[in-house]
Chain A
Amino acid sequence: MPGVLWLTVFFLIPYIIIIIYSFLTSGIYGGVELPFTLEAYSKMLVNAGYWQILWRTVWISIIATSICVGLGLPAAYFIATSKHRNIFLTLVIIPFWTNFLVRIFGWMVILGRNGLINSFLQLLGLKEPLSFMYTPGAVILVIVYMYLPYMILPLYSAIEKFDFRLIEAAMDLGAKRAQAIWKVLIPSIRGGIGAGVILVFIPALGSYAIPDLVGGADGAMLGNLIARQLTVARNWPSSSAISMIFLLISTLGLLVYLRINKVQNKRRVQVSEIYMKEEEG
């Protein structure tokens, strides 16, 4: 019951408000007015700029999540099999002790035109400073940096529970070490991978501060668009409508994830069905 109450007050009611707002007319100085209209949605559909940002948001999130999986798996494996796992786990968590925004500014110091990297490269003889800032690449880099712990932690807890004797069993049955990891470890920690992907992908989609500070015009994402519509354009129905699109994409992502899980289960059943038929026949 407290859960339902919590969801109603902090999730359902705000969303209902946003849904209603998205179908209302925009007031001149912000806010919303009657009558109900589909204007916010119809304007959005024909605006190429929206589509561009929407598409960018999706691919930036997908790439950042993929990189997190690629970096998180070996890191979590290393931590889970290390004797000093507590030390490494602490190292993973330490960045959380520093404010989120401060850490973004930290990256600006590193990536900027007169930043650490460029200063170093100029020492080596580079003439023109390279521009890392205000690119989708910078956004991806900082998203990966911010959300990697959310990938490592569920992966770590899955690998930690994994029975490593299964790796031995696989090698005993003829698998090379890499094969054993791919065919036994990875499927066994599927739940952890799924949790990590969701924990990184959803907040990556909703990024606001990161693209705002390091993304510039080329790296703007949905979150920035929503904020701009709300504050600069003072078009509340429009920002509400974009929020609905955002909800739609997150839900789609979740559905795809559930679907993948389901398909894998189905494939297993099919194999045995073939066998059962043979047995009968």
Chain B
Amino acid sequence: MKDYSVVLTNVTKIFDNEFTAVDNVSLKIEQGEFFSLLGPSGCGKTTILRMIAGFEDPTSGSIMLNGKNIIGTPPNEREVNTVFQNYALFPHLNVFENIAFSLRLRKEKEEEIRQKVMNMIDLTRLNGHVEKMPSQLSGGQKQRVAIARALVGKPTVLLLDEPLAALDAKLRQHMLVELDTIHDEVGITFIYVTHDQSEAMSISDHVAVMNEGEIIQYGTPFEVYESPVNAFVANFIGETNFFTGTVEKVEEEYFMLDTGRFGKIWFYKDMEVKIGQVIQVSLRPEKVKVTKEKPITPQGIKINILEGTVDETIYLGSQTKYTIAVGNHYLQAFKQHVRYLLDEVIITWKDRVYVWWFADDSYVLREPGGVSIEE
């Protein structure tokens, strides 16, 4: 049996007897893992974090920390520290004293405090900023002080509430790598709350995707990206093409869907389907290829080929995002520029093209319906 750091069982939080922020959530977070709660704003992820920290009590359900029920334990007695969204650094204390805050409360010896704070300053690479006041620090530096301050008391779990939201894109990438390094070094459980799927995907061991107070899907970043359970997850994590239709033909490995909009299309049978069943399939745009020449169908592999017109191109340097009009409907296709682009024939607006993909590159949504993009 694995060691779990935090275990939530049937946790529900209702505010003012009317608003259900968290609805019957159960979660097991492993010891030492980097776990992310991912969801749009207002989905209840921050409320879960605040319940683990002790700022809110669940209306019902239990929360276990290292095997002990912590409901009713005040925040100052929980071995959990938080990195707040707006850092919440104490403005009247300099960097050293901010980090030393929890140690001073425990009345540790001056010598030990200095040693521990110094270690944290090394870990978070704040050398040279020790004497500065929070107002003199940049966003990234404040972030590091907040992390150092939360880690210095050696909590068993570190909670991070959208810690990178206030930083610009470039710095966010940098801090993400740094967070990962710090996590590797201290080896404690990190619970990370974010609405940014790319942040969560890039550093997490496990991700829980939330919406409207419920956990929609739990899994590794690969699992939630490649095999989303429903249209909400598929759409929230990255971009996708949806196909909805009734099953017309079933073979051993593939089945044919009458999608109406795009005609009859083959998909990989990654779950049992029956003829006449209504199915929703997600196809990630990077798996869709766009070429001017008609592709040659290889032996033994099923591919779908559609003809269309380039409706829109978004050139991003490393890749181009195409919107292809197939009849009156649209498909997304991302083309990664792996070769030197200027020597190639560039596919551009109004070009007639073939859009094609391998039938096994799609995924059947286990919970059809819900959110879907009709185009």
Q: Does A188 contact B (CB under 8 A)?
A: yes
A163 touches B88 (CB 8 A): yes
Q: Which B residues are CB-close (under 8 A) to A276?
A: 130-131
A278 touches B118 (CB 8 A): yes
A171 touches B92 (CB 8 A): no
A176 touches B130 (CB 8 A): no
Q: Which B residues are CB-close (under 8 A) to A275?
A: 96, 114, 117-118, 130-131
Q: How far is the CA of A166 from the CA of B106 in the complex (A)?
A: 18
Q: Which A residues are CB-close (under 8 A) to B88?
A: 163, 165-166, 168-169
Q: Which B residues are CB-close (under 8 A) to A169?
A: 82, 84, 88, 90
Q: Which A residues are CB-close (under 8 A) to B93?
A: 187, 268
B339 → A minimal CB distance (Å):
51
B150 → A minimal CB distance (Å):
8
Q: Does B97 contact A (CB under 8 A)?
A: yes
Could you list 18 A-B pairs, sorted by A, with CB under 8 Å? A163-B86, A168-B88, A169-B90, A172-B82, A173-B105, A173-B149, A173-B153, A174-B106, A174-B153, A175-B105, A187-B90, A187-B92, A188-B91, A188-B92, A268-B93, A274-B114, A275-B96, A275-B118
Q: How many A-B residue pairs have CB under 8 A?
A: 86
Instruction: Kindly identify which residue among B81, B92, B97, B127 contacts A173, using a CB–CB cutoff of 8 Å.
Output: B81
Q: How far is the CA of A116 from the CA of B260 in the complex (A)?
A: 91
Q: Does B48 contact A (CB under 8 A)?
A: no
B96 touches A190 (CB 8 A): no
Q: How far is the CA of A168 from the CA of B76 in the complex (A)?
A: 9
Q: Does B15 contact A (CB under 8 A)?
A: no
Instruction: Kindly identify which residue among A179, A187, A268, A274 contacts B94, using a CB–CB cutoff of 8 Å.
Output: A268
User: Which chain B residue has the least Cβ–Cβ distance from A273?
Assistant: B131
B53 touches A173 (CB 8 A): no
Q: Which B residues are CB-close (under 8 A) to A172?
A: 53-55, 75-76, 80-82, 150
B76 touches A174 (CB 8 A): yes
B130 → A minimal CB distance (Å):
5
Residues facing A in B9-49 (CB within 8 A) are: none
Q: Does A272 contact B (CB under 8 A)?
A: yes
User: Which chain B residue has the least Cβ–Cβ distance from A168?
Assistant: B55
Q: How far is the CA of A165 from the CA of B131 in the complex (A)?
A: 23
Q: How far is the CA of A173 from the CA of B101 in the complex (A)?
A: 7
Other A-B pairs, 17, CB within 8 Å; known A165-B84, A172-B150, A279-B127: A165-B86, A166-B88, A172-B53, A172-B82, A173-B81, A173-B101, A173-B105, A174-B106, A176-B76, A183-B101, A184-B92, A271-B97, A272-B96, A272-B131, A275-B96, A275-B118, A279-B118
Q: Does A269 contact B (CB under 8 A)?
A: yes
Q: Does A170 contact B (CB under 8 A)?
A: yes
Q: How far is the CA of A171 from the CA of B76 in the complex (A)?
A: 5
Q: How far is the CA of A176 from the CA of B102 in the complex (A)?
A: 11
Q: How far is the CA of A77 from the CA of B172 in the complex (A)?
A: 37
Classify chain A: how many residues form its interface, as a range: 20 to 34
Q: Which B residues are CB-close (under 8 A) to A278?
A: 114, 118
Report, nearest first, the 3 A-B pairs whose CB atoms are least far apart: A272-B131, A169-B88, A173-B102
Q: How far is the CA of A173 from the CA of B152 in the complex (A)?
A: 10
Q: Which residues of B contact A (CB under 8 A)?
A: 53-55, 74-76, 80-82, 84, 86, 88, 90-94, 96-97, 101-102, 105-106, 114, 117-118, 127, 130-131, 149-150, 153
A261 → B minimal CB distance (Å):
11
Q: Which B residues are CB-close (under 8 A) to A163?
A: 86, 88
Q: How far is the CA of A269 from the CA of B96 in the complex (A)?
A: 10
Residues facing B in A234-281 (CB within 8 A) are: 268-269, 271-276, 278-279
Q: Which A residues are CB-close (under 8 A) to B75?
A: 168, 171-172
> A174, A175, A187, A188 — which one has the most chain B CB atoms within 10 A of its CB?
A174
User: Which chain A residue has the least Cβ–Cβ distance from B53?
Assistant: A172
User: Which chain B residue has the least Cβ–Cβ distance from A278?
Assistant: B114
Q: How far is the CA of A171 from the CA of B102 in the complex (A)?
A: 9
> B80, B91, B92, B93 — which one has the most chain A CB atoms within 10 A of its CB?
B92
Q: Which A residues are CB-close (under 8 A) to B80?
A: 172
A190 → B minimal CB distance (Å):
7
- Given contacts A165-B84, A172-B81, is CB(A272)–CB(B53) below 8 Å? no
Q: Which A residues are CB-close (under 8 A) to B106?
A: 174
User: Which chain B residue has the least Cβ–Cβ distance from A187?
Assistant: B92
Q: Which B residues are CB-close (under 8 A) to A273?
A: 131
Q: Which B residues are CB-close (under 8 A) to A173?
A: 76, 81, 101-102, 105, 149-150, 153
Q: How far is the CA of A273 from the CA of B114 in the complex (A)?
A: 12
Instruction: Kindly identify which residue among A174, A190, A269 contacts B92, using a CB–CB cutoff of 8 Å.
Output: A190
Residues facing B in A175-208 (CB within 8 A) are: 175-176, 179, 183-184, 187-188, 190
Q: Which A residues are CB-close (under 8 A) to B117?
A: 275
Q: How far is the CA of A172 from the CA of B77 in the complex (A)?
A: 8
A80 → B minimal CB distance (Å):
17
Q: Which B residues are CB-close (under 8 A) to A179?
A: 105
Q: Which A residues are CB-close (under 8 A) to B81?
A: 172-173
User: Which chain A residue has the least Cβ–Cβ distance from B128?
Assistant: A279
Instruction: Kindly identify which residue among A183, A190, A272 contacts B130, using a CB–CB cutoff of 8 Å.
Output: A272
User: Which chain B residue has the least Cβ–Cβ distance from A163?
Assistant: B88
User: Which chain B residue has the least Cβ–Cβ distance from A190?
Assistant: B92
> B88, B117, B130 — which one has the most chain A CB atoms within 10 A of its CB?
B88
B1 → A minimal CB distance (Å):
30
Q: Which B residues are CB-close (under 8 A) to A272?
A: 94, 96, 130-131
Q: How far is the CA of A279 from the CA of B149 in the complex (A)?
A: 19
Q: Which A residues are CB-close (under 8 A) to B94?
A: 268, 271-272
Q: Which A residues are CB-close (under 8 A) to B97?
A: 268, 271
A53 → B minimal CB distance (Å):
39
Q: Which A residues are CB-close (under 8 A) to B90?
A: 166, 169-170, 184, 187-188
User: Which chain A residue has the least Cβ–Cβ distance from B129?
Assistant: A272
Q: 1/0 per residue A48-61: CB within 8 Å of B? A: 00000000000000
Q: How far is the CA of A279 from the CA of B94 in the complex (A)?
A: 17
Q: How far is the CA of A269 from the CA of B93 in the complex (A)?
A: 10
A175 touches B76 (CB 8 A): yes
Q: How far is the CA of A135 from the CA of B20 in the complex (A)?
A: 61
